[in-house]
Amino acid sequence: MATETQPRPDRHPLPTGIGPKRNAILVVALAQRGIVEQPIGSNRGTTPNGGVDKFLPDWARTTPGPAWCCFCAFWIAKAALGKFPLDRHHGSCTKAWKAAQAAGVFVENDGTRVPYPGDAFLIRKDADEMRHIGIVFRVAADGSAINTAEGNTGQKFKVGTRSLTDGSIAGWIDFVPSEHPDGFERGLVEAPNTGAAATR
């Protein structure tokens, strides 16, 4: 299998005007670039940079490990904010979605709003279930797409691009309700289309 090369870190500038907490989430998220499952397909690994295992609670470090995208997103938020959003280390995208709905911090992708950088996007599996989650990194100038920083995408942590108009993104969890920055810098950076990547 060919190895996909990630864009260089200097091609991933943080958007300006997003607020200190959201900025902290993105700094932590981008620091995870390069983490790959070891071995591939195991949902585990200890290198590089702590590997997939650092995102997982002790009880989840089984062989093979569980799908780790949600554990990763909530680990990033806690590392940046000092506490877990929604008061726990969620490992289930569906349970995180339902908790966000109950807390009033889930925003439906209805075409009228865009996420803020530092939110967590959710990919819908069906009407009652979500299948993937990651961090919103940047938003396109026209609001049609986002750059993402997401775990468990092609067996790695990846910076990518996803469309907000193809219906796959159900919405996003507002990880920082206290920061809703108007006029934050928009525009995407070069990154592969992760909408086409397999997620588990």
Number of Cβ within 10 Å of residue 139's Cβ equals 24
Tell me the H-state helices in 82-146. Answer: 93-103
Residue 105's alpha-carbon distances to 25, 42, 101, 158, 166, in angstroms, are 17, 32, 6, 25, 22
Quickly name the fold that domain 16-196 has: endopeptidase fold (from Nostoc punctiforme) (3.90.1720)
Indicate the domain borders of the chain.
Answer: 16-196
Residues of the chain scoring pLDDT < 50? 1-5, 7
- The pLDDT tens digits for 173-190 are 999 999 999 899 999 999
Structure tokens that stand for 14 in this block: 């943080």
| Residue of 16, 24, 144 whose CA lies nearest to 78 | 24
- The pLDDT tens digits for 102-122 are 999 999 999 999 999 999 999
